[in-house]
Amino acid sequence: MAQLTNNPLLQKYATPFETIPFDKITIAHYLPAFREGIRLHQLEIDAITTDAQAPSFENTIEGLEKSGKVLSKVQQAFYNLLHAETSEAMDSIAEEISPEETAHANAIYLNAALFERVKAVYQQKESLSLSAEQATLLQKTYDAFVQKGANLTDDAKEKYRTYSQALSLASLQFSQHVLKETNSYRLLITDKSELEGLPADLLDAANAKAETKGEKGWLFDLSYPSYVPFMKYADNRQLRKELYMAYNKKAVGGDNDNQMVVREIIDLRLKIAQLLGFENYAAYALHHRMAKNASNVYQLLDQLLVAYSPKATQELNAVQAYAHQMGADFDIMPWDWSYYSEKLKEAEYSVNDELLKPYFELEQVKKGVFGLADRLYGLRFEKNEAIPVYNPEVEAFEVYDDKGKFMAILYTDFHPRESKRNGAWMTEFKGQYTENGVDSRPHISIVMNFTRPTASKPALLSFDELLTFLHEFGHALHGILSECTYESLSGTNVYRDFVELPSQLMENWGTEKEYLDGFAVHYETGEQIPQAYIEKIKASENFTVGYQCLRQLSFGYLDMAWHTIDQPYSGDVRAFEINAWAKAQLLPAVDGICMSTQFSHIFAGGYAAGYYSYKWAEVLDADAFFVFKKQGIFDKETAQKFRKEVLSKGGTEDPMVLYKRFRGQEPAIDALLIRTGVK
């Protein structure tokens, strides 16, 4: 019992703004807190189910919405750290508790008496005089029960329980395998002559990394700040191939093989979808997305493929020709693309990461990103070192609007660690909601894997890292500026193919002179980024845009192929992949590599049958930024309209309704084609 009474996860947090007391939580606290949270949530569910009063929106739908806060608090603390600060002990807890959580969720959604109450309210929806947000909550609650098996027969419900528990474990296993594979690879170079072409910053970082491991030489790994510049700049083709193969063979074979896991996940998703009456998983997942069905997704992917393929082919031919000019007596392979395309970019535009990085020192970039939120939305960020953080590198900020209202807590976590998975993401430790007239503000986190500082230099970001920062910060603004009643509808709780609009919109400012002039200064001299450099950035903005588009389309096609199958797949994962994305591939296929085994977005994240969302939202963001360009990129009226109609509304209404209120019309693809120079 002491594990409960003294458990900080189960007490009211005595920290600034009731933030999570990371300094008080130990591994031993999680499992007891999970189980107590499940127990308390079940009591709340039982109270709703056995309520003697007739089912109403308040006692049933709102009752469900408000239930489970203790469990949610534990889950938000644990699972965010599982991605950003994990350990073998955390992995073990996840494996142990995951089946119990799934069983608990199933006990709610497959509860016949509870569903009868939900259905009773749903059937009265036309006569209840609900607000738009209340109507959305009712629809979402009813749909959630149906999608999770509430209408199934008893026998089918048991199958659903079995499939969903197995799927939860398989997805967790997939993620663990990818992280272990990422962390297990090291490339130690002791002969500096093999590292010709690599910039001094990367060599310094690789040398420092080797020293931390007790090695002499230069240590490279599969983290973004190590892998990406190595592939861009290393003259040694054999080493580029070695690193490329290591990166792209993750979880293929060995102890962490994900091939069987992929087949298992796909099979389980298909079984669940068909159990619920859908032809395949894509039909099940897209039922509540802007795209609505697979046909509309393929229409977008195919439309973009036709539009961008000629451009992509021209780019490939140009890079190949330039490689030949440089003396290459071979057709370029995937491990050559970044290297030779970067050389061509330098030749045509005289711009590269090493030229720009001195102007993107992390502290200055933070000022620039926070400053953009101020200019658009009147937000200010105040660092608070009294707020506990889960790693010494993490910073916490209080966020206020221009009227002095407290808006949110923002955590920032910028650099790679072995305890952190690759990539960049936004999440929340607490969502925004309003209860009893009190606006409970969110606790938002952005997590990245940016270049670390070295002994001689601060953290200098590449231009792509600047854009990544802006992207994740756009997601953060979606959470920070939320003004909703219900937490399940607030912030980024929107359709998957709408959630990328705020993030991708923010990237547009990254190439605007008026914006860069405000913060991009040389970290040593304080010199403002030269006008000529900004012109180079702008001129090169669409360099290899066709290739990059086809790359994204290939991922979309692969995702849709896996999730539109209507029979279990027992064949070769790699063979399926090659066929699935063939029409969007430009470079030769390479034996032994596999994207599917490391495609965490769709096999361990929320993007199953949803990876197309990035291209779907790109149409939206280009269309939306057209308004900013027309009115002025810092135009307050446009920004406030976007805030009011999109950012503040979360998922309280249909996203197309929200977008049309901002834009005045449905989005068209034309703005994207014009922005990328295709039209």
Residues 206 and 219: beta-carbon distance below 8 Å: yes
CA–CA gap between residue 546 and residue 549 (Å, rounded): 5
Residue count of the chain: 679
What token pair was written down for 154? 């008893």
Q: Are 13 and 33 in contact (CB under 8 A)?
A: no
Tell me the angle at which helices 294-325 and 613-631 cross, rounded to the nearest 10 degrees: 80
Q: How far apart are CA 336 and CA 244, in angstroms?
A: 10
The helix/strand/coil state of 4 is helix
Rounded Cα–Cα distance for residues 198 and 490 (Å): 45
Long-range contacts of the stretch 438-442 (C-beta < 8 A, 24+): 439/483, 441/17, 441/406, 441/407, 441/408, 441/409, 442/408, 442/409, 442/479, 442/480, 442/482, 442/490, 442/491
The one catalytic residue in 472, 487, 500, 577 is: 472
CA distances from 608 to 262, 281, 555, 599, 603 (A): 12, 9, 11, 10, 7
String of DSSP letters for 244-312: HHHHHTTTSSSTT--HHHHHHHHHHHHHHHHHTT-SSHHHHHHTTSTT-SHHHHHHHHHHHHHHHHHHH
| Dihedral sign, Cα of residue 163, residue 166, residue 170, residue 171 | positive
CA 352 vs CA 62, 300, 362, 637: distances in Å: 54, 32, 18, 36
| Rounded to 5°, angle at Cα 435 from 434 and 436 | 130
CA 463 from centre of chain = 19
d(CA 223, CA 68): 37
- Residue 315 appears among annotated catalytic residues: no
**Which residues does the annotation mark as catalytic?**
472
